[in-house]
Structure 1
Amino acid sequence: MLTEDLSSNILQQHRSVDAKMLILLTIHIVCAFAGFANAAQLTPVFEWNELTFNWPDKQTEEYALRSGQYVPANNLPLGLDRWKDKLFITVPRWKNGVAATLNYVDLKSSNKTPSLIPYPDWKSNTLPVGDQQPQEGTIISTFRVSVDSCDRLWVMDTGLADIWGEGKQHSTPAILIYDLNTDKLLKRYVMQSGDLKEDSFFANIVVDVTQGNCENAFAYIPDLGGYGIVVYSLQENNSWRVKHNFFHFDPLNGDFNVGGVNFQWTDGVFGLALGRIQPNGYRKLYFHALAAIREFSVSTEILRNKTAATDPASYFAYKLEGNRGDKTQSSASDLDEKTNVIFLTQLNKDSVACWNVDKPLNPQNLGTVAHDNQALVFTNDLKIDAERNLWILSDRMPAFLYRGLKPNEINYRIFKVTIDDAIMGTPCAR
């Protein structure tokens, strides 16, 4: 009897423990999913195992493959922006064999795996041979582009090819501006020697302009390697370099684990987002280093004035907005003026986040827009178009750089979601 009573008691205790464990497990699962319960449903637009291009003819493509001018595995999409029926996609020349660095796809096409069309044409995307000098319209390698409200495309050309290999500087970094209605090159501005540092690397460009005042445009170009921002005035056709401690990377947040790849980066200021126009006619420029988790800001009133921008006394005009939280390193950001919400990529979290700038920046006010540990591995770029759609590009870049991608898997994806759907149910909604 004693044995039976003891066994019965132990069984009851075991069942009680199991019940408690089940309750705790259920609570844990519910809480875990609650963080993503309001995540938006992204619309898949395009996907590729490897990129293909719209070659002039089959013979040209076959020659490019044989000669090594086109190595499909070496073409990785990185930046994007939209203008009407064109979705621009950049393919930096990380390695040899990039067919074209600036391209677009036709959004009217029903093909979910379209071939990229070089912009403005194949000739502009052809690398110089040997010691040939690039022509005026040649684009060597671009990471990010920016469509402005005056129907222009701004391209930041690094001038550097085979970046991950031997590296060849074909030309000085330059800004190229295109008229999107005619596809004609309006201007090529070559950066001045004072804009450049030994470790300079220009991989982003943001344009500050308003319709009806198109000539009074400014471009802000972060230098992630030289830890500065270069400001370019279209009207003055002049540029100046700005320095600040906030442009540097955070040594405590340079460790990344993305898609099963561990690596350490020291990238400085990279993500930029322009706020609404203030009563004084200027905006806030929100910015952050890639290897960091804090967000900062400065008024464009400082940046657009060369004297003020380069005056050490302007140091205290830069403000700390807040801390996004652990593992929130971001490669790109953009702001929706209607809602005052910034969207940010989240590299270590396979996700996209949002922050309403009318609220203090902290982990509690950082919302999750979308999360997917397969489809959103390395959300490299995002942009908001004129119709308030958020476009997101993921490309598994760490695997591409450090171990190679599998050509039988989907490696590159582009999604979109409306801004209102993206923030619904998140702390970013009012």
Structure 2
Amino acid sequence: MLSTQLLLLCMIAGFQLPTFADPMIEVFKWKQLDFLNRGDNSDPHAHHSRPCLKTPDSGASNSGPFIQYNNVPQGVTHFRGRLFITTPRRQEGIPSTLNYIDLARDGRRQSPILRAYPNFALNQYNVSAENLVSVYRTSVDACQRLWFVDTGMLEYPNNRQQIRRPSIWVVDLATDRVLKRFDIPQSIVEIGRGMASITIDVKARNCDDAYAYIPDLVNRRLHVYHLRDDRIWSFEHSFFNFDPLSDDLNIGGQKFRWDDGIFSTTLGPHQPDGSRNVYFHPMASTNEFMVSNRVLQQESNAARSDHGSDFQMLGSRGSSTQSTMHEYDPGTGVIFFAEVQKSGVGCWKTSKPSSAENHGSVYSNAREMIYPSDLTIDEEGTIWVMSNSMPIFVYSKLDTNVYNFRVWKQKATRAKRGTVCQ
């Protein structure tokens, strides 16, 4: 058990550790990001044997210079030695929006460079209508494919530009080839801003029959895309709205109010009838909700004027538990939460009622884990978290002499130790 003196020291240092839990481990940290390519395609280690479909000329680059300060990482996903890092185009001067770290090559570096994925050329948005504009978060499915939404929008302050339709992308991670790009029609959304995450519902033995659940935090809708039928539909529900009692935030010394609606979805275990629960929550909320995937996968259900009791409120996670992303770990039966107000990681064992008493704290560090923007769990049961100091970047100014961005990890089996999620 931690001594009183150690607990006092932890509080003075600005973070608290659960009594027996294994804390998140800091893997990488950056004062500012740097990229292998900033306007050329001269990577001597590029995977030239794995070309991507419809790639423009190698000399192509975005207009405008590289502006290092404007590059803020948002998403983190690990798959077999590659760590995918996204940098949405919320400002000018971003060389590539979808990137990765080669852990075998650069994993020992404290602040590794980012390599464009699948290559630098595909990230040049102003060259071809087939190229990437802005990606927030990624997801790897059971069929070893990388999924993400390209918002199609340059979110420059006071000059937002929807330069092409938002789109859903599927990439084969074995070959780095684009398998599918689906442009989301205007009848579903007018602009791409707000589609910041994606969850994939698929079985490895039936890869074509995949469903993607895409929360829309701006329009407060849940979009459902079916790969086999190449169709998309949208649900609306009051549970997708932000909670006006939970929209005041105080993070990294910045006080502000955000009205982000439904932000994250995650899939629970398979039920006896083969269905799965889809857990979801708005970011500006401390409540957790649920709906069966059977409901979402029926396109006709989206047109109903009344959903009855299909969507359920499970309960409150407790005060200050506003969360960006959350993910269910099948090995432990626990959902882990990236908690922005607590600057840390929370947990809930789904076999217990969703309540403040059953919501645990894995880790909290108000000095270093400022705004955990993403949380994913890889196929080996390791939790990965990105923290990016976003509120300071938006409302103040980042100190480029200190570490602003960090990637953390921990085994789910160890993260739950000593918490109510044990």
**TM-score, normalised via structure 1 length:** 0.87
Q: Secondary structure at the match of 1:315?
A: coil
Aligned to 2:177: 184
1:166 pairs, out of 150, 159, 162, with 159
Residue identity opposite 1:111 in structure 2: R
Offset from partner CA, 1:405-426 (integer Å, 9 cap, x none): 1111100000110011100111
Aligned to 1:104: 100
Offset from partner CA, 1:284-320 (integer Å, 9 cap, x none): 0000000011000000000001112332342311111
Q: In the superposition, relative to structure 1, how do residues 70 and 200 fare at CA in structure 2: closer, same or farther (>3 Å)?
A: closer
Q: Secondary structure at the match of 2:138?
A: strand
Inter-partner Cα distance in structure 1 for 2:36 and 2:189: 35
Inter-partner Cα distance in structure 2 for 1:31 and 1:127: 45
Aligned to 1:128: 126
Cα pair 2:41 2:120 within 8 Å, conserved: no
Q: Secondary structure at the match of 2:223?
A: strand
Inter-partner Cα distance in structure 1 for 2:120 and 2:10: 52
Aligned to 2:47: none
2:146 aligned with 1:150, yes or no?
no
How far apart are residue 200 of structure 1 and its match? 5.6
How far apart are residue 45 of structure 1 and its match? 1.1
Inter-partner Cα distance in structure 2 for 1:331 and 1:140: 22
Inter-partner Cα distance in structure 2 for 1:210 and 1:407: 44
Aligned to 1:335: 328
109-118 or 263-272, which deviates more: 109-118
Aligned to 1:21: none
Cα pair 1:161 1:168 within 8 Å, conserved: yes
How far apart are residue 325 of structure 1 and its match? 1.1
Q: Secondary structure at the match of 1:128?
A: coil
Q: In the superposition, relative to structure 1, how do residues 34 and 375 fare at CA in structure 2: closer, same or farther (>3 Å)?
A: closer
Aligned to 1:94: 90
Residue identity opposite 1:82 in structure 2: H
Q: In the superposition, relative to structure 1, how do residues 66 and 294 fare at CA in structure 2: closer, same or farther (>3 Å)?
A: closer
Aligned to 2:207: 214
Cα pair 2:39 2:62 within 8 Å, conserved: no
2:274 aligned with 1:281, yes or no?
yes
RMSD: 2.5
Q: Secondary structure at the match of 1:331?
A: strand
Inter-partner Cα distance in structure 2 for 1:31 and 1:422: 18
Unmatched tracts of structure 1, length 5 or more: 1-24
120-129 or 197-206, which deviates more: 197-206
How far apart are residue 34 of structure 1 and its match? 8.8
Aligned residues: 398
How far apart are residue 85 of structure 1 and its match? 1.0
Inter-partner Cα distance in structure 2 for 1:69 and 1:311: 49
Inter-partner Cα distance in structure 2 for 1:254 and 1:188: 35
How far apart are residue 266 of structure 1 and its match? 0.6
How far apart are residue 64 of structure 1 and its match? 12
Inter-partner Cα distance in structure 1 for 2:234 and 2:64: 38
Q: Secondary structure at the match of 1:276?
A: strand
Cα pair 1:50 1:75 within 8 Å, conserved: yes
How far apart are residue 172 of structure 1 and its match? 0.9
- 1:22-421 equivalences under 5 Å are 36-55=18-37, 68-108=64-104, 109=106, 110-128=108-126, 134-136=128-130, 138-196=131-189, 201-421=194-414
- Identical amino acids, percent of aligned pairs: 37
Q: In the superposition, relative to structure 1, how do residues 405 and 316 fare at CA in structure 2: closer, same or farther (>3 Å)?
A: same
Inter-partner Cα distance in structure 1 for 2:237 and 2:221: 7
Q: Secondary structure at the match of 2:239?
A: helix
Cα pair 2:34 2:114 within 8 Å, conserved: yes
How far apart are residue 57 of structure 1 and its match? 8.3
Residue identity opposite 2:129 in structure 1: Q
The structure whose Rg is larger is 1
Q: Secondary structure at the match of 1:167?
A: strand
Offset from partner CA, 1:128-154 (integer Å, 9 cap, x none): 16xxxx432x11001011111101111
Aligned to 1:4: none
98-107 or 38-47, which deviates more: 38-47
Structure 1 or 2: more helix by fraction:
1
Offset from partner CA, 1:14-36 (integer Å, 9 cap, x none): xxxxxxxxxxx99x969989973
How far apart are residue 56 of structure 1 and its match? 7.5
Q: In the superposition, relative to structure 1, how do residues 66 and 148 fare at CA in structure 2: closer, same or farther (>3 Å)?
A: closer
Cα pair 1:302 1:314 within 8 Å, conserved: no
Aligned to 1:7: none
Offset from partner CA, 1:118-173 (integer Å, 9 cap, x none): 011111111216xxxx432x110010111111011111000001343411111111
Residue identity opposite 2:325 in structure 1: A
How far apart are residue 194 of structure 1 and its match? 2.4
Inter-partner Cα distance in structure 2 for 1:193 and 1:64: 29
Cα pair 1:88 1:104 within 8 Å, conserved: yes
Cα pair 1:65 1:71 within 8 Å, conserved: no
